[in-house]
Structure 1
Amino acid sequence: MKIAIFANNRPKSQAVKHKLQQKFIERHFILDDEKPNVVISIGGDGTLLAAFHHYEDQLGDIRFVGVHTGHLGFYTDWRDDEIDDLVISLQSDNGQAVSYPLLEVVVKYADRPVRERYLALNESTLKRISATMVTDVYIGGELFERFRGDGLCVSTPTGSTAYNKSLGGAVVHPNLEVLQIAEIGSINNRVFRTLSSPMIVAPNDWITFKPTKGSDFTLTVDSSVYHDREITEILYKISKKRVYFAKYRHNHFWQRVQDAFIGTETDEDRMDL
C-alpha cells in the first residue's frame, strides 16, 4: 500500500504527521506523495478539502482518511490520539470504502472559446459584490426564474452542512445524489420575485446560471476563488466522478450532524427540562 500524508502547517498537525511517518516506515508501508492509494489528511475539514483538490485528477485510485487535530469534522473520522489504531486498520485493509457525490462546475467565460471545468466537494457560489447580481436560473434547460440579490450557492449533499446550511438550506443525506440551490440575499418586493426558498434538484437535471453582463463576478469552488472575469454561463451537475473514503470506522452521516450542531445531551441537561 502506498500512502501520502497531507497535513496543514499547524505544529500539532505536523507532529502527528511525523509520528505517522515513523510508524509507517517501521511497518514497511510505502510513502508516496505522487501516486498514493490512500491519502491521510491531518488537520480539519479545510485540510481535507485541500487534499481532495490536490489529488482530484486521481480520485478513482485514491481513498481518503481524515485525522482531526481540532474539532470533529464531517470528513475526519480519527482523533490525533488514535493513530496507533489507524495504523492497525491500514495493516488489515481490504479496500473497503464509502463514496460521496461531487459537483461538476462548467464555466463559459466571455474571453475564452473553451469552457473551463471545476470539481467541488462541498459547494460553488456565484456572487457580485459591487452591485446587485441579476442571473437567469435554468433547471433542466428550462428557465425557472430571474434572480436578483447578492448571489447563489449550489451545494452537494455533504456540502449541505457547510455554507448552504448557514443560508437556511436543508441538510441532505449523501445517499441522495441531488443538488441544492440556496439564495444569498435575494430581493423580493412588488416588482421582483424569486422562489425565496432552497431548492433540491434531481440528479438527472442540471442547473444553469446566465448572469447579465459584467466582469465583477466572484465565483467560488470550495475554497478556490475566481473573480474579475466576465462569466456568460455556468452549468452545474452531478459529476461522474466520486470521492472515496476508507471505511475503517466511517461515522454515520446523521451522527456527524448531531455531533457538529447539537452535541450529546447529558442526564443533567434532561433534568433541566
Structure 2
Amino acid sequence: MKYVIFSKGDEKSNLLRLSMIAEFREYEMEYDEQEPELVLSIGGDGTLLAAFHEYEHRLSKTVFLGIHTGHLGFYADWRPHEADKLVKLIAARDYSVVSYPLLKTTVRYGLGKKEAEYVALNESTIKSSGGPFVVDVLINGNHFERFRGDGLCMSTPSGTTAYNKSLGGALMHPSISAMQLTEMASINNRIYRTIGSPLIFPDHHEVSLRPVNDKDFQISIDHLSILHRDVGEIRYEVAKEKAQFARLRQFPFWQRVHDSFIED
C-alpha cells in the first residue's frame, strides 16, 4: 500500500511521524507523496484539513485517517499511544471506508463566464472586504431574502461542529447529504429582515448569493481565506465528490460530540 504522513510540525508530531514511517517499513509499505492510497495526518483537525486539500484532486483514490496530538478532533480521533496498533491494522488493510459529503463553491466574476471552483470539507464563509455586507439569497434560482449583516457560512454535515456551531447552527450527522447556511450577526429591525435561523438544504438544492453593493468579498474555503474582486455570484451545492475516511473501529459521531463538547 502507498501512504503519506502529514505532521502538524511540532516536535511531538514529527517524532511520531518518523516512528510510524520506520514501523511501516517492516510491513513493506511504500511511502509515496504523489499517489498515496492512504493519507495519515498527525496533529489535529487543522492538519487533516491541510492534508485533505493537498490531495483533493484524487479523492476517489485516497482515504484519510487522523491521529491527534492535542485535543480530540472530529477527523483526528486516534491517540499517539495507539500508533503501534494503528500501523498493524493499516498494514493488514483491516479497515472499512466511510464517506462524508463535501461542499462545492463556485465563484463567478463580473458579467462574464469566468469562474473559480472550490471544494470544502468543513465550510465556506463569505464576508465583505470592508464595506456593508449585503447580498441577495436565492434558493434554486428563486429569491429568498436580502441579507444584511457580517457574513454567511455554508457548512458540510461534518463541518457543522466547527464554525457553524459557534454561529448557533445545528449539528448534523455526516451521513446526511446536505449543507447548512448560518448567519453572522444579521441586521433585523423594522426595515430590514432576514430569516434569522439556520437553513438546511438537501443535495438537490442550489443556493446562490448575489452582491447588492460591494462586489469584493473575503471568501474562505476551510482554513484558506482569499480576497475575490468583482464577484457576480457565489453558488453553493453539495459536491458530487465525497471524502473517504478509514474506519478501524467504532466511534459513533454523537459520542465524538459528547466527548468534545460535554465531557471527555
TM-score bracket for the superposition, by shorter chain length: over 0.9
Native 8 Å contact 1:77 1:249 kept in 2 = no
For residues 108-123 of structure 1, what are the structure 2 equivalents within 5 Å?
108-110=108-110, 113-123=113-123
After superposition, give the CA deviation of every residue in 1:129-156 in whole Å (9 maximum; x if it has no partner).
5222110001111110000011000001
Q: Aligned partners of 2:4, 2:167: CA distance in 1, in Å?
A: 35
Q: Aligned partners of 1:109, 1:230: CA distance in 2, in Å?
A: 6
Opposite residue 154 of structure 1, the aligned amino acid is: M
Listed as ranges, the gaps of 5+ residues in structure 2 are none
Q: Aligned partners of 1:178, 1:144: CA distance in 2, in Å?
A: 18
Q: Aligned partners of 1:51, 1:44: CA distance in 2, in Å?
A: 11
Opposite residue 127 of structure 1, the aligned amino acid is: K
**Cα shift at 1:230:** 1.9
Q: Does 1:193 align with 2:193?
A: yes
Opposite residue 31 of structure 1, the aligned amino acid is: Y
**Cα shift at 1:16:** 0.6
Q: Aligned partners of 1:258, 1:177: CA distance in 2, in Å?
A: 22
Q: TM-score, normalised by structure 1?
A: 0.93
Aligned CA distance change for structure 1 residues 51 and 111 (closer, same or farther; 3 Å): farther
1:51 is matched with which residue? 51
Q: Aligned partners of 2:141, 2:111: CA distance in 1, in Å?
A: 24
1:60 is matched with which residue? 60
For residues 86-235 of structure 1, what are the structure 2 equivalents within 5 Å?
86-94=86-94, 96-110=96-110, 113-235=113-235
2:239 is matched with which residue? 239
Opposite residue 68 of structure 2, the aligned amino acid is: H
Native 8 Å contact 2:150 2:186 kept in 1 = yes
Q: TM-score, normalised by structure 2?
A: 0.97
Taking only aligned residues, the RMSD between alpha carbons, in angstroms, comes to: 1.3
Q: Aligned partners of 1:110, 1:15: CA distance in 2, in Å?
A: 49
1:253 is matched with which residue? 253
Q: Aligned partners of 1:150, 1:101: CA distance in 2, in Å?
A: 27
Native 8 Å contact 2:133 2:214 kept in 1 = no
Native 8 Å contact 1:129 1:150 kept in 2 = no
Q: Aligned partners of 2:226, 2:110: CA distance in 1, in Å?
A: 14
1:75 is matched with which residue? 75
Native 8 Å contact 1:213 1:232 kept in 2 = no
Listed as ranges, the gaps of 5+ residues in structure 1 are 265-273
**Cα shift at 1:250:** 4.9
Q: Does 1:41 align with 2:29?
A: no
1:270 is matched with which residue? none
Q: Aligned partners of 1:177, 1:42: CA distance in 2, in Å?
A: 28
After superposition, give the CA deviation of every residue in 1:165-204 in whole Å (9 maximum; x if it has no partner).
0000000111111111100010000000000111111221
Q: Aligned partners of 1:207, 1:148: CA distance in 2, in Å?
A: 17
Native 8 Å contact 2:109 2:231 kept in 1 = yes
| Matched-pair identity in % | 47
Question: 4+ runs of 1 displaced by more than 4 Å?
Answer: none
Opposite residue 126 of structure 1, the aligned amino acid is: I
Aligned CA distance change for structure 1 residues 113 and 140 (closer, same or farther; 3 Å): closer
Q: Aligned partners of 2:23, 2:99: CA distance in 1, in Å?
A: 27
